[in-house]
Structure 1
Amino acid sequence: MPANYRYRGQNIITKLKNKVLRKAKLFLNLLCLKNRQFGKISPITLTITNLFLKTKKNATRLKSSRGIPLLNKRITNCLKRSGFVRI
């Protein structure tokens, strides 16, 4: 897909970045409402950051987070349930 491909007046990469950021904000808000244990947020922040960087490089890499370290099974399942990643 060309880098300058436009979708409804928006660059497709920009559209994917915005989608990732929206889901990231919603997910972190949900997590903070459920519990105030901020130690659990750092692996999730790492996941979101890596997905955001992968989106910038190549839109097709947004589909999976298998290569991202520090994800335990509980956090991975939570991310899958939220629809944030598909593994």
Structure 2
Amino acid sequence: MVDFQNILFPVALTDISAVIPPYVATVASRFGAKLHLLHVLRRFDWFLLKFLNQFLAQIKADGRFETIYNRWFRETDWYRFAR
């Protein structure tokens, strides 16, 4: 059997990218692997990159990032819905 220690999963601003991560997280959980999400941008899309960086800074500052992180990455209650 293959022993996965890390899984790198690219996501983009598409409908399918919002659906697949819970399934990838389930696979990572079953193998005891760490899941790393990589947001993919179009080359030279500086406007979107600037927007995302500002948005991340804003939600980190107001505490929403921690809430989202705790809900989807620290807690595993949602796994049962992905199986």
Give the TM-score taking structure 2 as reference length: 0.28
Q: More strand by proportion, 1 or 2?
A: 2
Q: More helix by proportion, 1 or 2?
A: 1
Task: Tell me which structure has the larger Cα radius of gyration.
Answer: 2
Give the TM-score taking structure 1 as reference length: 0.27
